[in-house]
Amino acid sequence: MPPTSLPADRIGYPMTTIDRAGCRHGGPGAEAAAQKISKQTDSTSEVLLEKKGGAGIITLNRPKALNAVNLSMIRQIYPQIKTWEKDPETFLIIIKGTGGKAFCAGGDIRAITDAGKVGNKLAQDFFKEEYTLNNAIGTCKKPYVALIDGITMGGGVGLSVHGHFRVATEKTVFAMPETAIGLFPDVGGGYFLPRLSGKIGYYLALTGFRLKGRDVLKAGIATHFVDSEKLPALEKDLIALKSSSTENIADLLNSYHMKSQADQEKDFVLDEHMDKINSLFSGNSMEEIVKNLKQDGSPFAIKQLETINKMSPTSLKLTLRQLREGASMSLQDVLMMEYRLSQACMRGPDFYEGVRAVLIDRDQSPRWKPAALEEVSDEFVDDCFKPLGSNDLKL
């Protein structure tokens, strides 16, 4: 049996086309980097905000970049959501992407990385404002419907999974691949992932495994599944609703969901491995999880071990603790914790090295520092979780 879906009411929740940044080095290039980013984020066409009937509609409009979200887009979306939330004539909010390939493939990391290398404060601003937007979505009083048609990773997960409804299609590709670039599954991953059935969330976070199509629903990430070609009709019917209560929206989504036959009889992709996932990924430390995988020795366990061995050891340890602590925290507290982790990652070498290896040089051979799990001390991990005082995220 597939895991039970998380409630449509609300869950918390991050990139293959990831794009984020750091602040390690100052220098004469800082001003130039700032000007470059300012120029890049001035365009208002990167996100379209419109009102149709009683629906506020957000359209991510960077199809050539797989709708990767940047700071300019965040700064347009956040105030609009707050405005619609207070508007008595706005009954629901819909968010979608253009281009047919992606809802949103992540955050715009390349620009942020460039800024971080010359000491630009974009890394602080981006993460603070992105997480503030995630919180606004997670606490929005108006029904929020995310049409996650296509690639949905990283920042795209943060724009969707916190809302009331997440509609997957046969084109949906979900993943949290941050440990492969020296980061961690942020944007509320510490809230959403440990609340999935069994240890699925830990497995997805540590390995970056991709879920596709109806499996995104069966894992409990999406609340509904609708054929991609039916989304325009669904959107039209959502806009036409005379009473946009959460119940009415759910009824409409259910009616479309019930009509979809795509892969309906297909078993959940992780079904045959669930017992092993729940057992092997229940370790209290990364060392214990690795030991479990080695001792098991099955083809599945060996494959996961090979995958984990490619990830940043620092990211793996931060991620495991992030999920273990986040399991009993509120979404707001998780986002504040994750901001501290984001700034710790910006101070270290692995994020820059991961982005280089995966996104820039594409040699897929990152040189992690430290290179082994046993070299990442508990004291170092503790430091990454420490409050930042006046620099902490405030929600």
The sign of the torsion formed by the CA atoms of 33, 36, 41, 46 equals negative
**Contact predicate 305/290, CB 8 Å:** yes
| Annotated catalytic residue 155 | yes
How far is the C-alpha of 375 from the C-alpha of 314, rounded, in Å?
9
Cα angle: 335, vertex 336, 338; to 5 degrees? 60
* 107 counts as catalytic: yes
Q: Are 94 and 57 in contact (CB under 8 A)?
A: yes
Q: Identify the H or E element spanning 352.
A: helix 350-355
| Choice among 186, 227, 235, 338 that is catalytic | 186
Catalytic residue among 178, 215, 227, 338: 178
C-alpha torsion sign, points 128, 129, 130, 133: positive
CA distance readout (Å), 84 to 22, 79, 141, 241: 33, 9, 10, 17
Candidates 155, 188, 213, 354; catalytic one: 155
Catalytic annotation, pick one of 22, 56, 97, 107? 107
Neighbouring residues of 2: CB distance < 8 A, sequence distance ≥ 6: 218, 219, 267, 268, 271
Phi then psi for residue 47, to 5 deg, are -140, 135
Residues that are catalytic: 107, 155, 178, 186
